[in-house]
Structure 1
Amino acid sequence: MDFSLTEAQRDLAGLAGRILGDWAERDGDQRTEPFDDPFDATLWEQLAQAGLLDAALPESVGGGGFGLLEQCSVLIELGRVAAPVPYLPSITGAASAIAEFGTGLHAERWALPVTRGQRTMAIALADEGDDPGFTARRAGGSWRVSGTQTAVLHGAHADAFACEVATDEGDALMLVDRGHSGLRVTGQHAVDGTGAALVELDEAEATDDALLGEPGSGAARWLRLRATVGLCALQLGIVSRALEMTGEYARKREQFGEVIGSFQAVRQRLAEAYLDVEAVRLTLWQAAWRLSEGLPADEEVATAKFWAAQAGHRVAHTAVHIHGGVGIDMDYPLHRYFVAAKRTEFALGGATAQLRALGTHLAEAPA
């Protein structure tokens, strides 16, 4: 296993960091309400113009020939500014699944408009351990899809959805445009204001062309693993920046004539938070590397998401506690990292769900 970053990872992270740093200084850190502008279309277009939406995708969808490792490097930078853009569901999720399981027609219709910054996509996946929210049955030469999925990340403003569906022939992924007559999308107020949605399908008709791969091909599981790793990368950016902000604050804030960073209890909490951040970093890259190499990674992904959830919870609360009252002041940017960490903690299954999944994998592994 090689933990060194590739040249492409460093270049993409550097480019993303410069663009997002400028955005945070100009707009991001001025956001005083987490529900303001859950999707920044201008920033999304800027990322597309810089080549960040297609660079880390396979060439089959017009990308630069890279993949998950490069996407994780971009996601870390997005997390560091809690950027309100749907890179995870659109690029790491839907577009990557289309590149892996779709056809040229899928790429032209759904993926290419996303990589050009013209559209966005969301992924409607059940949490780890839960059954798919949608079911599909054959009806003549097409499918009828029904069901519900709540809290779909960035679903409120998505132009299309990649939905995990259960069929008699196995789980599958189906692509559904927002304008479909059988689709209803209702915006939901999530804690981080990223435009979550309740997605409902009522006997929605879908042809075989809407499927990514055949039912039972493993496309849904493939997408879940990569989306989960993407969440871990996002969480790494969130908690690492929150820790940096907290360390900077602890070096400046004075109480009883001393900076609070000199207090033993504060130093201990900062040290524990540092260990948590490094645990997220280590387990993220282990899981991402195995997936990128085509190796079995169910246990590694569950481990990474457990740390992203558990450490995310602890670091977010440590950051707020050390900041004191300013930590929950809406005029100070830390609140955006707190709510982003909490949303990422539970997306696609929290710590308990990941421990159950890990236990199942270990129990079923041959001795």
Structure 2
Amino acid sequence: MDFTPTEAQLDLARLTGEICAKLVTADRLRELDTAGRFDEQLWKALADAGVLAAALPEDLGGSDFGALEQTAILRELGKAAAAVPALWSVVVTADALARFGDADQRALAARAGTGEIVLTAALAEPLRATTDAPGIVATEGDGWTVTGTATTVPFADRAARILVPATVSGQPAVFVVDPEHASVTRTAQQVVDLAPEFLVEFADTPARLLGTLDTGAEVLTRLREHAWLGLSALQLGTLERALELTAEHTRTREQFGKPLGSFQAVAQRLSDAYIEIGGLRLAVTQAAWRITEGLPATEAVHIAKFWAAEAGHKVAHTVIHVHGGLGIDRDHIVHNYFTAAKHHEFALGGATPHLLALGAELAG
């Protein structure tokens, strides 16, 4: 196992970081700190630079990079607390359409890679194990339809298509749905970092099967694992940048005539945070490496998401506590990293659900 970053990882991380540093300033984050936050300018810049298409196959205009390169990009977006759907539109949804879709579905993936459209997936189901059948039900008549409710669907307000896991005769399958259909209802939900997430209701909504019924479990597992790993990579970048801001604060802020960082209790909390982030970095890298190498990765991905939740909770609260009153001021940049960390902590399952799912995998 070699965790040395590839040249592509370093180049993509550098490019993404440079774009974010130019466009995502503290003032810009404050400007975007409203419900349904979406950074149109950053989204277009990432698309124009080829960052969005990097993970797509070459015949769809991409570079066919794997999970290691994808997590390198997401980590940089996490460092910027970027309000863009790169994870959901490209890493999760376009990836699945490119791998399992027909010609029309693959064309959607290519359009997502150019930033022309946004795609998303309805994955927030009760989490016990990766093979759980989804709560939404699909039936086949003259064509497939889906019925049920999905919660906290990211960017559903601007999505051209939503991937909807559903149950067919007790088995999982994944369907492509047009959210503009009259049978679809989208209701905005408020989440901690004000990201655009929606409760989406389907009532006999026309749908197209992604892949086949036989590959339904494989498609769903890939969707979930890429989403869990992607959230963990975003969390890694978020926590790294939050700790950098906190370290700088403790070097310059003084109490009793001394820098905050010179007090033992503060230094210990920052040391603990550094160790927690190191554990998350290792877990994310291991899971991404296993996926890239085509090895079984479910256990490693659950471990990464557990660390994202556990470290996320500890580090986020350390950041706020060390900043004191500044930490709860919505005009201070650290507020954006705290809310982002709390979102990534609980999205698609917190620490306990992923430990339970890991236990089920080990027992199985």
Name the TM-score, length of structure 1 as normaliser: 0.94
Question: Which residue of the other structure, out of 128, 132, 139, is the alignment partner of 1:137?
Answer: 139
The corresponding residue for 1:18 is 18
Shift of 1:36: 5.1
| Residue 152 in structure 1 maps to residue 167 in structure 2 | no
Matched residues in 1 for 2:234 and 2:72: separation?
Answer: 9
The corresponding residue for 1:328 is 328
The corresponding residue for 2:2 is 2
Aligned pair in 2 of structure 1 residues 65, 347: CA closer, same or farther (>3 Å)? same
> Structure 1, unaligned stretches of length 5 or more?
none
SS in 2 for 1:213: coil
> Structure 2, unaligned stretches of length 5 or more?
none
Is residue 133–residue 166 contact of structure 2 (8 Å, CA) maintained in 1?
Answer: no
Cα deviations across residues 90-141 of structure 1 (Å, max 9, x unaligned)? 0111001011111222111x212211111111110124226523110111x3
Shift of 1:328: 1.1
Q: What letter corresponds to residue 352 of structure 1 in structure 2?
A: T
The corresponding residue for 2:190 is 189
SS in 2 for 1:54: helix
Q: What letter corresponds to residue 75 of structure 1 in structure 2?
A: L
The corresponding residue for 1:170 is 171
Number of aligned residues: 358
Is residue 28–residue 83 contact of structure 1 (8 Å, CA) maintained in 2?
Answer: no
Matched residues in 1 for 2:2 and 2:282: separation?
Answer: 12
The more displaced of 59-68 and 141-150 is 59-68
| Residue 88 in structure 1 maps to residue 87 in structure 2 | yes
Indicate the percent of aligned positions where both proteins have the same amino acid. Answer: 47
Matched residues in 1 for 2:174 and 2:154: separation?
Answer: 17
Q: What letter corresponds to residue 135 of structure 2 in structure 1?
A: G
Name the TM-score, length of structure 2 as normaliser: 0.95
Shift of 1:29: 4.0
Aligned pair in 2 of structure 1 residues 155, 350: CA closer, same or farther (>3 Å)? same
Shift of 1:60: 4.2
SS in 2 for 1:90: helix
Cα deviations across residues 331-359 of structure 1 (Å, max 9, x unaligned)? 11111111111111111111000000111
The corresponding residue for 1:214 is 212
Q: What letter corresponds to residue 115 of structure 1 in structure 2?
A: G
SS in 1 for 2:251: helix
Shift of 1:169: 6.3
The corresponding residue for 1:76 is 75
Q: What letter corresponds to residue 24 of structure 1 in structure 2?
A: V
C-alpha root-mean-square deviation of aligned residues, in Å? 1.5
Is residue 169–residue 216 contact of structure 1 (8 Å, CA) maintained in 2?
Answer: no
Is residue 121–residue 164 contact of structure 2 (8 Å, CA) maintained in 1?
Answer: yes
